Amino acid sequence: MSKTERIYRIRTLLANRRSISSQTLLDELEVSPATLKRDLEFLRSRMNVPIVWDRDLNGYRIDQQNQVGAQYELPGLWFADKEIHALLTMQHLLANLDPGGILAPHVRPLMARLNKLLGAADDAAEEVRRRVLIVGIGKRSMKLDHFENIGSALLRRKRLAIRYYARGRDQETEREISPQRLVHYRENWYLDAWCHLRGALRNFAVDSIRKAELLERPAKDVPNATLDTVLGPGYGIFAGDQLQWATLRFSPERARWVASEHWHPEQRGRFEADGNYVLEVPYADHRELMMDILKHGRHCEVVGPEELRAHVMDELAHSAATYGGEAARG
């Protein structure tokens, strides 16, 4: 019987009986007195189970009267070693998604409990952490105080006064917005919000928000269905409700990867007789889709629409002229 199984068994026995003697526990678990002592201490110190020795009953019991603070137990929520390791991976993911932001102050106590829980696994917690590596590519830095103000406005349903830097236009604007939802996309955070300056829904890169002041005015609420209709149907993070469908043909070599990739919830794909793979995705703005097309180089052909083909060809021609000219000057 593993340590995790023993811990679960002890907790079950204590929950189902008024008290239980040491000898009964030793017989049930088939362990030495020293091992039983360690298991009981683990339950007390790491799992916060208020186990006491009752002299009158001559056995162990759970002390319901003297526990400190409110405690909530989810029946049956016990973890095997592999499940504990999976929880650790989730901890790493959370730390990467929210480095000190809106969730960290509230999740930190839970993470401390999880670290204690990891002591039930055969591997030391530090060894598990050393073996789990999460690499974020393309993550942009942002100010945590802005992130916290955004989170507070979202949860309290308040407006924000922001100064926003639009990289495409290289301009800053002052806006009042009603935050609707945070979106984590390709290692970065975006904010879907109602912009009172434009009188419409807009998507803001959180790292481009250079000032975020929480206002006491109530936020305008936009139904989720409207958010999905305006901001959600097209490819990537760029908004737009005028959808077109891109048809892309990938070489047999690249098809082995692309056929397994998720580009859009409504994408359609099929293999052709010669091994090429044809992918169809809806888009409202060509910019992000074009970047993903270009990274495949000669292995991706834009079948349609013609406007998207023209954008890709213009970009290729511009790159050739730019880098060709630099090579000639060199």
What's the pLDDT tens digit per position in 123-151?
445 565 566 555 665 666 656 667 778 88
Closest CA to 285 of 214, 230, 328: 230
Tell me, what's the pLDDT at 179? 94
Tell me, what's the pLDDT at 84? 60
All structural domains of the chain, each given as residue ranges with its CATH number in brackets, are 3-62 (1.10.10.10), 81-131 (no CATH), 144-231 (2.30.30), 244-327 (3.30.70)
SS3 per-residue string spanning the chain: CCHHHHHHHHHHHHHHCCCECHHHHHHHHCCCHHHHHHHHHHHHHCCCCCEEEECCCCEEEECCCCCCCCCCCCCCCCCCHHHHHHHHHHHHHHHHHCCCCCCHHHHHHHHHHHHHHHHHCCCCHHHHHHHCCCCCCCCCCCCHHHHHHHHHHHHHCEEEEEEEEECCCCEEEEEEEEEEEEEEECCEEEEEEEECCCCEEEEEEHHHEEEEEEEEEECCCCCHHHHHHHHCCCCCCCCCCCCEEEEEEECHHHHHHHCCCCCCCCCEEEECCCCCEEEEEEECCHHHHHHHHHCCHHHEEEEECHHHHHHHHHHHHHHHHHHHHHHHHC
What's the pLDDT tens digit per position in 86-110?
666 666 666 666 555 556 666 666 6
Residue 193 φ/ψ, nearest 5 degrees: -150, 155
Instruction: Work out the burial of residue 14: count CB atoms within 10 Å of its CB; fewer than 13 is exposed, 13-18 middle, 19 or more buried.
Output: buried
What's the pLDDT tens digit per position in 30-46?
999 999 999 898 888 77
Tokens standing for 43?
């339950």
Counting as low any pLDDT under 70, the low residues of the chain are 65-145, 233-241, 323-330
Q: In this structure, which amino acid lies at residue 236? A: G
